[in-house]
């Protein structure tokens, strides 16, 4: 299970005054920043890495065929967990030589 994300709320004034340190925190600690604005017109700032991950997930789940294929693969993996093994780098290299 994925660890909970760091979420931080700041004001527009805080963002303006501390942009560099906030941007560094977003990237260095995978923090999501909510910028509180008047009339509840808030915005959310995430790292490009996080954004790219969301885009990839959206693409992969974007068609019914992809969703079904991923669910089938997930179920297959979960039903065969006793057969699955995490390989050491050495074991992986050895298997790669046999291909």
Domains of the chain: 1-47 (3.40.1620.10), 61-99 (no CATH)
Tallying the residues shown for the chain, one arrives at 99
Question: What is the average per-residue pLDDT within 37-66?
Answer: 95
pLDDT score for 79: 80
Instruction: Give yes or no for residue 99 having a pLDDT over 60.
Output: no
Is 99 within 8 Å of 93 (Cβ atoms)?
Answer: no
Q: What is the mean pLDDT of the chain?
A: 88
Q: 26, 46 in Cβ contact below 8 A?
A: yes
CA dist., res. 17 & res. 29, Å (int): 20
Compute the distance between CA of residue 27 and CA of residue 53 in angstroms, rounded to an integer: 14
| Residue 49 pLDDT grade (very low, low, confident, very high; cuts 50, 70, 90) | very high
pLDDT band (50, 70, 90) for residue 52: very high
């Amino acid at each position: 299970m994925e660890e909970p994300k760091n979420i931080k709320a700041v004001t527009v004034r805080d963002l303006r005054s501390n942009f560099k340190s906030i941007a560094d925190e977003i990237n260095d600690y995978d923090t999501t920043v909510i910028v509180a604005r008047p009339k509840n017109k808030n915005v959310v700032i995430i790292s490009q890495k996080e954004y790219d991950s969301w885009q990839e997930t959206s693409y992969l789940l974007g068609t019914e065929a992809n969703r079904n294929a991923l669910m089938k693969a997930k179920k297959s993996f979960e039903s065969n967990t006793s057969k699955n093994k995490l390989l050491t780098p050495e074991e992986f290299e050895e298997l790669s030589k046999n291909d």
